[in-house]
Amino acid sequence: MSDPELPDFQTILELYKSRAAEGRSEFDASLRRWVEKGCKGNGPQVDFNYVSFHYLNSDYPLLLEELRLHEIWYQVIQVFKHTDECHEAQQRLVLSLVALRETGYLPLPPLGDGSPRSDSFSDGRRLWPEFPLFSPALIEEYTTRYWDKSHYDDVQRENMAAAIGRLLSIGIYDGPALVALSLFREVLETDRPLLPASADTDGQQEVPISVEQGIKFASNVSGYAENGLILLASNRCGAATSVPHLNYADFPDLSAPGELAIKSGLVSSDLRGYSPGRWAFWKKRVEELSAFEGSTLAESDKAENGGSWATLSGHADFIISALGEAERSTQFLEHM
C-alpha cells in the first residue's frame, strides 16, 4: 500500500505561519510573566531541538525550516534583551549556542519524491555551525529597535550589549561583530551630548542618547567580549572560526567610522570595519571620557556613588582596563 499523498506545501506553509504567530505571542506572554516575577527560575526555554528534529525529518523544502529558525532567533534575542548580563539564563543560552556549533553540520534528507535538495538556507548558511539567519535577525533587531526608546530602555540595551560581548568572546562573529562595531561607533565616534538632556517643555523633542548612557553599553560589550574585539581589530580572528564574515562594506551606515574618529587622524574616512587605528581611537576617546569632570555639574554630583560624572568616568575607566587587558592577552598569545 502506497503512502498517502503529502499535503500541499502551500497549505502547510500558511498553517505554520498562523501557528508561529500564536507561538510568538505565547512566548512573549510567558517571558513577560517571568520578568515581572523577577526572573526567578529557568524562565521560557528556547527549544533548538525542535528545529533540529524537523530539519532532519522534513519532507518539504527548507522554506518551512526557515520560518522555524526565524522564530528561534526571535526567542533568543528576546531572552538576551530581558535578562540581566549576570543572570544564568543569558549564560545558559550562550552555552547552548556553543554546543550547537560543536554538533557539526546536520545531514539533510532528500525530498519526499527522493530528489536531493540544498542544505543551505537563503543566506547561504547551514545548520548548525554557521547559525543560518541569525546574523540578519540580529542586525535587524539592532538597526530597527535597539536605539528606539519605544522598544528598548537603557537596562535592556545593557543586557543586549552584554550578550553581544559574550557571543564575541566565544568566536561567534558573524552578526555580533558588526553590531558591536556599530555600537562603539554610536557611543564613541559620534558627536552626541555627554550627559542626559531633558525634552523640551512640550515633550515634542526626541532626546538623543547621551555618552553617559551609551558608555554603559560599550562597557558591557568590552567587558564580556574579552579578546574578541582586539582579535577583530587586529584581523586575527580568522583562525578562530570557519564561518565567513559579513562584508562590512554592505552596511556603510553601521561600519563606516564616525566623525570624531575621522577627525582624530587615526581612522581613514573610507574604512569599513575594524582596524588597529580604530582600536587606538577608542582607547584615546575613553581616556578622555575617564578624565571628564563635568564642570557644569554640582559638586555633589562628583561623589563616589553620586551622579553622572561618577557614572561616566567609572565606566570609561572600566573600558580602558578591559581594552588594555584584551590587548595584553592577545600579545601574549602571539609569543607563545
* Of 70 and 295, the one with more pLDDT: 70
Examine the pLDDT at 216 and tell me if it is beyond 70: yes
150 and 87 in a common domain? no
* Of 140 and 41, the one with more pLDDT: 140
Cell of 331: 600579545
Mean pLDDT confidence for 308-331: 75
Per-residue confidence (pLDDT) for residue 54, from 0 to 100: 86
231 and 97 in a common domain? no
139 and 100 in a common domain? no
55 and 159 in a common domain? no
Per-residue confidence (pLDDT) for residue 150, from 0 to 100: 92
256 and 183 in a common domain? yes
189 and 290 in a common domain? yes
What is the span of the domain harbouring residue 312? 133-194+209-336
Most confident of the ranges 21-35, 120-134, 301-315: 120-134
pLDDT digit string, tens, across residues 168-202: 999 899 999 999 999 999 999 999 888 776 544 44
Grid look-up 564613541 returns: 188
pLDDT digit string, tens, across residues 131-147: 999 999 999 999 999 99
Mean pLDDT confidence for 265-278: 93
Examine the pLDDT at 324 and tell me if it is beyond 90: no
Last residue of a domain, one of 106, 125, 157: 106
Grid look-up 552596511 returns: 251
Task: Report the alpha-carbon distance of residue 182 to residue 226 in Å, rounded.
Answer: 18
Per-residue confidence (pLDDT) for residue 208, from 0 to 100: 79
150 and 101 in a common domain? no
255 and 181 in a common domain? yes
> Is 122 a member of any domain?
no
pLDDT band at 297; cut points 50, 70, 90 = very low
Mean pLDDT confidence for 243-263: 88
Q: What angle is formed at CA 287 by the lines to CA 286 and CA 288, rounded to 5 degrees? A: 90
Per-residue confidence (pLDDT) for residue 317, from 0 to 100: 82
pLDDT digit string, tens, across residues 314-323: 788 888 888 8
* Of 163 and 1, the one with more pLDDT: 163
Asked whether the beta carbons of 96 and 90 are under 8 A apart, the reply is no
69 and 186 in a common domain? no
Task: Report the alpha-carbon distance of residue 247 to residue 174 in Å, rounded.
Answer: 10
Per-residue confidence (pLDDT) for residue 301, from 0 to 100: 39
223 and 309 in a common domain? yes
Per-residue confidence (pLDDT) for residue 80, from 0 to 100: 95
Nearest to 172 by CA among 120, 255, 246: 246
Examine the pLDDT at 204 and tell me if it is beyond 60: no
> Is 316 a member of any domain?
yes
Per-residue confidence (pLDDT) for residue 221, from 0 to 100: 95
Per-residue confidence (pLDDT) for residue 2, from 0 to 100: 41
pTM for this model (two decimals): 0.85
> Is 54 a member of any domain?
yes
pLDDT band at 226; cut points 50, 70, 90 = confident
pLDDT band at 23; cut points 50, 70, 90 = confident
